[in-house]
């Protein structure tokens, strides 16, 4: 099983590939829309890129549902850490 850091590195690489962000710009607490300016089409591209890197299919709607259930509240934006947590959960 991949560590949190390994998963973060995979997510970071996928996001950098799609959004052309600078080194150090992506942090675990970075939100896709609010901090990184990602749009819906970007999320699809990030999902595809992550699947190539991790071998795991990623549906952002499922991640939102996972995070909502975990926190017991509805969210409007996902963070990088949310994706890492989700990937860790589906890897078990």
Distance, CA of 7 to CA of 74 (rounded, Å): 24
Mean pLDDT score of the chain, rounded to an integer? Answer: 93
Q: Do residues 86 and 11 touch, judged by C-beta distance below 8 A?
A: no
CA distances from residue 10 to 7, 34, 45, 71, 82 in whole angstroms, order as listed: 5, 21, 14, 24, 13
Average pLDDT over residues 16-37: 95
- Confidence band of 91 (pLDDT split at 50, 70, 90): confident
The pTM of this model reads 0.91
Average pLDDT over residues 1-7: 89
- Token reading at 7: 């998963």
Note the pLDDT of residue 25.
Answer: 94
Q: What is the pLDDT of residues 49-79, one digit of tens each?
A: 999 988 888 899 999 999 999 999 999 999 9
């Amino acid at each position: 099983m991949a560590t949190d850091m390994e998963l973060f590195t995979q997510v970071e690489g996928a996001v950098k590939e799609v959004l052309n962000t600078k080194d150090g710009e992506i942090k675990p607490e970075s939100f896709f829309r609010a901090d990184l300016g990602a749009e819906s089409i970007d999320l699809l591209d990030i999902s595809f890129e992550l699947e190539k890197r991790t071998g795991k299919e990623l549906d952002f709607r499922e991640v939102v549902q996972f995070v909502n259930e975990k926190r017991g509240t509805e969210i409007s934006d996902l963070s990088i850490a949310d994706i890492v947590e989700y990937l860790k959960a589906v890897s078990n």
